[in-house]
Structure 1
Amino acid sequence: MLLIKKVTCEYRTNLFGTDIQTPRLSWVLDSEKRGTYQRAYQIQVTGPDGNFEFPIWDTGRIESDQSLHVDYIGPKLESRTRYHYRIKVWDNCGRESGWSETSWWETAFLTTIEWKASWITPDSTGIDPHANPVFLLRRNFHLKKGIHSARLYATAAGVYEVYLNGSKVGEDLLAPGWTSYLHRHQYQTYDVTSQLQNGANGIGVMVGDGWYKGEVSFIPRRNFYGDRRGVLLQLHVQYDDGTEEVVSTDSTWKSHTGPILLSEFFAGETYDARLEKDGWTSGDYEDSNWYRTTILNLPINTLVAQENWPTKVTETIRPKKIIQTPTGDTLLDMGQNMVGRIRMTLNVPTGICITLQHAEILDKDGNFYTGNLRSAKQMVTYTAKGGGVETYAPYFSFQGFRYVKIEGFPEQEQNHKLLKEIFTGEVMHSDMEPTGKFECSHPLVNKLQSNIMWGQRGNFLDVPTDCPQRDERLGWTGDAQVFIRTAAFNYHVGPFFTKWLRDLKADQKSDGSVPYVVPDVLANFVRRSGKKTWGDETYTSSAWGDAASVCPWTLYLCYGDNRLLAEQYESMKAWVEYIRSQGDNEFVWNTGFQFGDWLALDAEEDSYYGATPEYLVANAYYALSTRILRDSAQVLGEENDLHIYNKLLKGIVTSFHENYLTSDGRIAANTQTAHILPLMFDLVEGEVRKQVAHDLNELVVQNDYHLTTGFVGTPYLCLVLSQNGYHNTAVKLLLQESYPSWLYSVTKGATTIWEHWDGIKPDGTFWSDAMNSFNHYAYGAIGDWLYRYVAGLDMDEQVAGYKRIRIQPHFSNGELTYAKGSLISPYGRIETNWSMQEEQILVKVQIPVNTTADILLPNALLGNVLEGGQRWSIGEGIKSANEVEDGVHFTVGSGSYCFTYSDTVFN
């Protein structure tokens, strides 16, 4: 059978509340027959009634194999309307599928003029606008009988939650998320039909400081975007008779404060349950003693519908054990360095005050350690209401932690079994779909993969933060660009990075420079205060600013997203032109501040800056971004730019050779990173490339198979070793357990990736408190190599989106006896699974419908390869087979394949 398994609109099943006016549709096919691909498709779209008898758009049969990002080009969409769609396809075997299951997307406001609500905030005569307590804003309203449907559109200057008739609206946390608020401010759409009732209704909003006006960096200041919290809300109720009623925020709303006395990301949350206002969101609540609200002068034209996956609780974790430390503290050990919050469910007398303090690590004596948090307190205080069971978790704060210190709990209740039942960890992050899995024969490597996944979960909380625990939690651009390819294996990060890249573009300076962090609060702080922090007045650097090119290009490769590439193209171009304008030679970047190979181990004592010349790094990345821009121009049909940037790239490469290669074709700087970047970014070729790869290998071997690289060199180290014939060295690096290595932290009990290779030193002491995160994902970029080289799951980058797949496992002298990887690609699930027993090799592969795969079986001979236990033959999915220098190359269509053969290396 030919089936359509999954249909999506802009990456989502049933896209809700979008302002995209030309949405794109995609689908995944399934077939039991090998070698199946799509020959044609048909799409039908209809309106809210879901009746396809008279569709508003019918493509008819379209002869095409395209099944990703097909533009809707029917009649102009209307706001606040649900559109249903279905798809059928024809394949190369003459089969016609049935119609897919009906799916839908629903528009929100397609223009900002449809906002009739006003931003509101408590009137300052009643509530101090700068007060710490979370504001409560509410009103009652009356509805007629016959409610057909209701949609709530809401946002806040701050972070908010909405309640209707006593129940929370939606599952989102920390809405509206963090964007470059001065340019782009997200709003959310909720279906609240089931929460409304005939007659009296009540609506209430809680709003805290959040990213908008709270503490959001190590800079000791607040109010980066504004000094007043505010709420904007518009509720549309449709009746059965076709009429509509709208409830909006205006100055008739009432305001007060409640039980949340303080709620910050760094400080934590203080909650006094005795101050709860029971029933404050019900329709019969008496609010005559509440304070007035006032209109807040904030813009409407910056509003955009939700773009990213919302932040949610994605998993709950019970404490693994209760610890009594040598100093007498009682701790919860969650068993995992996590990001989120602790929920408590308890029954204690009124006035009991329980304090939770969060930390990542214990010191070498086993005591609670908070030194690396810097000024972040990560403290939650709860004062009980009493009189029965009560449950609480922080509303507008998240923490990074494994250990939780408990204080104030009634002594008679402190038995370990009870504490494990009272406290639960709730894991929070952007609710991305898991897409990738990796496993191999080495248990420590599998733990490393788990740590990489947890590091991504902890730091992909609406923006790609560097760390989730200390007083920072910023969207550092350098961290994001080195990790994005790994990120796209582990999770579906399309919407996540689409939203973040739009903020990058918004925060990019008029001269084309890209800030260190996005959203940009550091340069914003400098502009408003006149004070300096990292770097110079440009607040940009190579490898960090290059996120402008690397990230959209990577999303294009992984998801075939031409539209985002086109959308970001001018930003990419502006970044390259910014570099080009520096100094007096357009082919060289040798001016301004540079991070270089940040935190490399070859740095001088007490320095963060590695030994690799900073301008070598800058010019290597200059070449990379120019290459990406040139290739993007080709994809987008920008022929003039293609010529311009191809010429520019040649000049940059030539200048790189002149400045950083010796006369005998060697890299002038004797560091690992100085050799890695020219190899990774194709700045050397032929015999020079062989020499540089040889020299890199020697640097690693002479260092007893240990790395010395930092943020810039580490992500590519194993990749270039494997690419250039030194895969065995790469595997020895991977499996190294002594410091410095990836597995060193695993042997020290790490459950996430560390910021420093020696975050915990061999003697149990710590790296400097000044900058020592134990949940910092950048070094987790090794995951890209694990998927692509160890498991052998890769793509042909000439055909984006895994339309043409490359399967090429790499073996390594028996150190690993099996590896397997899987990826839910845009076309469906790809799997590769190899194992080695004595001289026999087994390679299992699954290729999705509507794709082709090139499979390279290393060290094989055509005559000794079996497929499915039989001699292979052309047909049944296998299109071609031939011997090549490295083994046997098969080209296959979709389906499952099982190859077995004897390794010629052993023979």
Structure 2
Amino acid sequence: MGIHETTIAAATARPGRDWSARMIAPLCDAGEGSRASYVAREFDWRAGAEAVLHVSAQGLYRAFVNGARVGADLLTPGWTCYDDRIAYQSYDIAALLRDGANRIEIWLADGWYRSPIMWRDKAIPNCWGDRIAAIAEIESAGEIVLRSDADWRAGLLPITASGIYHGEDYDARLEAREDSHGVEALGFDTGLLVAHETAPVHELFPLDPVESWHDAEGRAIHDFGQNCGGYVAIEVSGEAGAEVLVEHSEVLGPDRAFDNRNYRCARGAFRYTLRGGEAESYRPHFTFMGYRYARVTVTGRAEIKSIRSIPISSVPEAAGGVGTGVPAVDRLVLNTVWSQRANFIEIPTDCPQRDERLGWTGDAQVFAGTACWLADCESFLRKYLRDVMHDQRENGAVPHFSPDPTRLHPEGFHGDWAGSTGWGDAITVIPWQLYLHYGREDVLRECFPAMLKWVDYLWSLSDGPIIRPSSVWGGHGFSFGDWLQPVGDNRKPRPTIADDCAATLYHAISTDLVAKIAGLLGETEAQARYTARAEEIRLAFAREYVSATGRLAHNDQTSYALAFLHDMIPAEHREAAKGYFRRVVEEADHLIGTGFIGTPALLPALTRLGMADLAEKVFLNREVPGWLYQVEQGATTIWERWDAIGPDGTIYEPSMNSYNHYAYGAVCQWLFEDVAGVQPTEEAPGFDRVRLEPTVLPALGHVEMWHDCRHGRIEAGWRIEGDRVAYTVDLPDGCEGVIPAGRLADVTLDGRAAEIPEAGLRLPAGRHEIGFALPG
């Protein structure tokens, strides 16, 4: 069975329904980038009867019954590989109906379905189709009492232009609607429709400006104090025809100049034209922007009464947090939360602002563990994995991003945009994190065929364990390597990992995971095959990249971190390699030397090797490149580049610079699991059992964490008391803890001396006071 057939089978197994309605397109629609339109129908109703509206669309929709909005969900029906499945939503609308005559309107816009997607000259209009359309049924007591069909009518909306990158233009003078056109019933396969697979996008709490001023041209600039994904809401009054243009940016240039050059070709703005008369309120309907600042230009006679920032997200509720004695660290955690919120809008995107906003697999895989600590991401990431599987190529290559517009429109792209190690490994790493955090063996089973295709593809790249990627972008097996790995002073750059080494490390990581997952699923033949293959990769890695003295070939932080973390260094070389690792970090003056794939491994590797002193210095370094450098430069989200803003405020090359990229926020997983010391375990996943092994970093002062898992809230924290550490843990019912033997010395449990057996000390649910000697 091909991967396409596999994912279609999985999709049809998910909740769906039989449809008798038709997908109908408004005949007044003039195509991509044109004025938005709607479909509508009047119907009779008996008050008091139950009523559920099932609705979906090609494009984005918003439904209204008798002029009242249905639900509060945003950007519906969401973003999927639309040739695989399109979500539908169901709403109880009984309270909106009245006895007698009623009217339903479904507003439509381009959305991801046909907005130009990708960047610059590669932007693809009509990615999944060139007709926006809606499908709807009203169900009452098991009977379909209204369905969309060719008898519905259509008309134009006051939204004169709308697009994911464009933003939105709205002319309130055109709000009076006329059902001026008919509709066309399209030849649509209703088998593509599935119930929305994750939580809808919702608004968060609004943010008022923390400061406002005017530039030299008299335009108002508002600082909302927080970078986010969302839109601005305004209240304005003035004469008919006056216009309000709201532009957005993430940063300010010198002299606090408005600067959104990093949006590239994305306009990322909205224009509102007043109807005149009483105060008018507006916020965009079918788009979102990434921004902290708004610049407002008023043309004509109009006055802004209020302006607020409205963040939006698919994961608006926090599920975990970390607090320390260092305010900059706490802000770093909060920055990661905000980057996740802004980029978890239907899919895990790289950034919410520029002409991109794609579901990059590499970003998602390095961040998946942190994502699950900070928010409930079970259904969100599972939905994303279904897109990844649908986009997987027949040869097993996993796309660089998903949903992938290039799969349907390969023209204009050099080669196939799929198959990079570190990126395609999302298909093994993300399901494994979902298993650890939520105990979802069914996710492993659903993704297992795609995992096998991926690791077999990796082996095929060089017909063996060592992968030698193509150096040509788009070439077969091209690898991003350790993307954006810093090199330090360009006069004497620090060493970086080579693509072949990075690719081979991830070859081992995914093959190990596949062998482990095969065992969990009872796939004994596959377990034996891939266990043997993983060992072959490990031996080949040692021959190719580990010298006789234990020094790794590229002698860089990423090589050591990934190799140690994934047991790629032979036992006889571990101590020597550890010494080289320490020296590499110290010679860099404790500055980060890792990019996208190396950064999540760096501090866990140092910590688990017993080099917590180095981990502490690297983490708390306030120079560039460093996490706290960003914070002290005023960042409120995670940057794409370590050097996105220079110490003197200089903005790095704006064409490749986002100030809201969550990847480097993956360090928060280390804060939860290594510093606070709470780790989910593979032998009892879903927090049935947690490993309790904190790493004390004295410079942090104290540490507390909390996390809402499926059993309830877990809390843990440590503080230093003289030459000892007090570690308090609260475990909910259904969750037990285990203190492993080996690292903690002179342990007490609830005030009494405790011996830790070799298998570890088990702790039942409840509150526990654990003491141990402060490491020397």
Task: Please report the TM-score for the alignment, with normalisation by the length of structure 2.
Answer: 0.93
Compared with structure 1, are the counterparts of its residues 726 and 901 closer, same or farther at alpha carbon in structure 2 (3 Å cutoff)? closer
Q: Report the secondary structure of 2:398's partner residue.
A: coil
Compared with structure 1, are the counterparts of its residues 316 and 197 closer, same or farther at alpha carbon in structure 2 (3 Å cutoff)? same
- Whether the aligned pair in 2 keeps the contact of 1:680 and 1:716 (CA below 8 Å) is yes
- Whether 1:379 and 2:250 are equivalent positions in the alignment is no
The aligned residue for residue 539 of structure 1 is 418
1:462-518: per-residue Cα shift (whole Å, max 9, x none)? 000000000000000000000000000000000000100011111111111111010
Paired AA for residue 591 in structure 2: H
1:871 pairs with one of 752, 760, 763: 752
Question: C-alpha distance in 1, partners of 2:417/2:201?
Answer: 32
The aligned residue for residue 342 of structure 2 is 458
* TM-fit CA distance, 1:672: 1.2
Counterparts of 1:763-774 in structure 2, within 5 Å, are 763-774=648-659
The aligned residue for residue 899 of structure 1 is 770
1:429-464: per-residue Cα shift (whole Å, max 9, x none)? 104542111010111101111101101001000000
Question: C-alpha distance in 1, partners of 2:145/2:208?
Answer: 43
Question: C-alpha distance in 1, partners of 2:675/2:24?
Answer: 55
Q: Report the secondary structure of 1:710's partner residue.
A: coil
Q: Report the secondary structure of 1:136's partner residue.
A: strand
Question: C-alpha distance in 2, partners of 1:804/1:841?
Answer: 23
* TM-fit CA distance, 1:540: 2.1
Question: C-alpha distance in 2, partners of 1:130/1:771?
Answer: 27
1:92-126: per-residue Cα shift (whole Å, max 9, x none)? xxxxxxxxxxxxxxxx644xxx2111111122xx4
Q: Report the secondary structure of 1:317's partner residue.
A: coil
Compared with structure 1, are the counterparts of its residues 176 and 652 closer, same or farther at alpha carbon in structure 2 (3 Å cutoff)? same
The aligned residue for residue 882 of structure 1 is 755
1:59-79: per-residue Cα shift (whole Å, max 9, x none)? xxxxxxxxxxxxxxxxxxxxx
* Unaligned stretches of 5+ residues in structure 2: 1-9, 471-476
* Unaligned stretches of 5+ residues in structure 1: 1-18, 24-107, 281-286, 414-418, 873-880
- Whether the aligned pair in 2 keeps the contact of 1:758 and 1:767 (CA below 8 Å) is yes
Moved more, 833-842 or 739-748: 833-842
The aligned residue for residue 36 of structure 2 is 134
The aligned residue for residue 128 of structure 2 is 225
The aligned residue for residue 512 of structure 1 is 396
* TM-fit CA distance, 1:652: 1.0
- Whether the aligned pair in 1 keeps the contact of 2:88 and 2:195 (CA below 8 Å) is yes
* Pair member with larger Rg: 1
* TM-fit CA distance, 1:772: 0.3
1:245-302: per-residue Cα shift (whole Å, max 9, x none)? 421111111111121001112111100111002xx6xxxxxx5x51111112232221
- Whether 1:558 and 2:437 are equivalent positions in the alignment is yes
Compared with structure 1, are the counterparts of its residues 604 and 222 closer, same or farther at alpha carbon in structure 2 (3 Å cutoff)? farther
- Whether the aligned pair in 1 keeps the contact of 2:253 and 2:650 (CA below 8 Å) is yes
The aligned residue for residue 7 of structure 2 is none
- Whether the aligned pair in 2 keeps the contact of 1:327 and 1:367 (CA below 8 Å) is no
The aligned residue for residue 10 of structure 1 is none
Paired AA for residue 557 in structure 2: Q
* TM-fit CA distance, 1:707: 1.2
Question: C-alpha distance in 2, partners of 1:538/1:613?
Answer: 20
- Whether the aligned pair in 2 keeps the contact of 1:580 and 1:589 (CA below 8 Å) is no
The aligned residue for residue 538 of structure 2 is 653
2:359 pairs with one of 475, 481, 485: 475
Compared with structure 1, are the counterparts of its residues 198 and 345 closer, same or farther at alpha carbon in structure 2 (3 Å cutoff)? same
1:264 pairs with one of 163, 168, 172: 163
Question: C-alpha distance in 2, partners of 1:474/1:145?
Answer: 45
* TM-fit CA distance, 1:903: 3.5
* TM-fit CA distance, 1:363: 0.5
Paired AA for residue 94 in structure 2: T
Compared with structure 1, are the counterparts of its residues 233 and 604 closer, same or farther at alpha carbon in structure 2 (3 Å cutoff)? farther
- Whether the aligned pair in 1 keeps the contact of 2:436 and 2:686 (CA below 8 Å) is yes
Question: C-alpha distance in 1, partners of 2:695/2:257?
Answer: 44
1:687-730: per-residue Cα shift (whole Å, max 9, x none)? 32232232122111111110121111111100100011111111
Paired AA for residue 228 in structure 1: R
1:378-402: per-residue Cα shift (whole Å, max 9, x none)? 1111111122122110000100000
Q: Report the secondary structure of 1:347's partner residue.
A: strand
The aligned residue for residue 296 of structure 1 is 186
Compared with structure 1, are the counterparts of its residues 628 and 396 closer, same or farther at alpha carbon in structure 2 (3 Å cutoff)? same
1:354 pairs with one of 215, 233, 244: 244
Q: Report the secondary structure of 1:650's partner residue.
A: helix
Counterparts of 1:246-645 in structure 2, within 5 Å, are 246-277=145-176, 290-325=180-215, 328-408=218-298, 413=303, 422-526=306-410, 529=411, 531-532=412-413, 536-537=415-416, 539-585=418-464, 588-591=467-470, 592-602=477-487, 611-645=496-530
Paired AA for residue 223 in structure 1: N
Paired AA for residue 342 in structure 1: V
Paired AA for residue 222 in structure 1: P
Compared with structure 1, are the counterparts of its residues 164 and 703 closer, same or farther at alpha carbon in structure 2 (3 Å cutoff)? same
* TM-fit CA distance, 1:816: 1.8
Percent pairwise identity: 34
Compared with structure 1, are the counterparts of its residues 610 and 504 closer, same or farther at alpha carbon in structure 2 (3 Å cutoff)? farther
- Whether the aligned pair in 1 keeps the contact of 2:168 and 2:286 (CA below 8 Å) is yes
Q: CA RMSD in A?
A: 2.4
Paired AA for residue 35 in structure 2: P
Q: Report the secondary structure of 2:699's partner residue.
A: coil
Q: Report the secondary structure of 2:635's partner residue.
A: coil
Compared with structure 1, are the counterparts of its residues 619 and 245 closer, same or farther at alpha carbon in structure 2 (3 Å cutoff)? closer
Paired AA for residue 897 in structure 1: H
Query: What count of residue pairs does the alignment treat as equivalent?
Result: 758
* TM-fit CA distance, 1:220: 2.5
Question: C-alpha distance in 2, partners of 1:893/1:409?
Answer: 67
The aligned residue for residue 183 of structure 1 is 84
Q: Report the secondary structure of 1:815's partner residue.
A: helix
The aligned residue for residue 715 of structure 2 is 831
* TM-fit CA distance, 1:855: 3.1
Q: Report the secondary structure of 2:55's partner residue.
A: strand
The aligned residue for residue 800 of structure 1 is 685
Q: Report the secondary structure of 2:462's partner residue.
A: coil
* TM-fit CA distance, 1:653: 0.9
Question: C-alpha distance in 2, partners of 1:904/1:122?
Answer: 70
Question: C-alpha distance in 2, partners of 1:246/1:258?
Answer: 27
Compared with structure 1, are the counterparts of its residues 336 and 797 closer, same or farther at alpha carbon in structure 2 (3 Å cutoff)? same
- Whether 1:143 and 2:143 are equivalent positions in the alignment is no
- Whether the aligned pair in 2 keeps the contact of 1:596 and 1:609 (CA below 8 Å) is no
1:620-679: per-residue Cα shift (whole Å, max 9, x none)? 101111111001101100011111111111111111112111122321112111212211
Paired AA for residue 38 in structure 2: L
Compared with structure 1, are the counterparts of its residues 865 and 133 closer, same or farther at alpha carbon in structure 2 (3 Å cutoff)? same
- Whether 1:202 and 2:100 are equivalent positions in the alignment is no
Q: Report the secondary structure of 1:565's partner residue.
A: helix
Paired AA for residue 748 in structure 1: Q
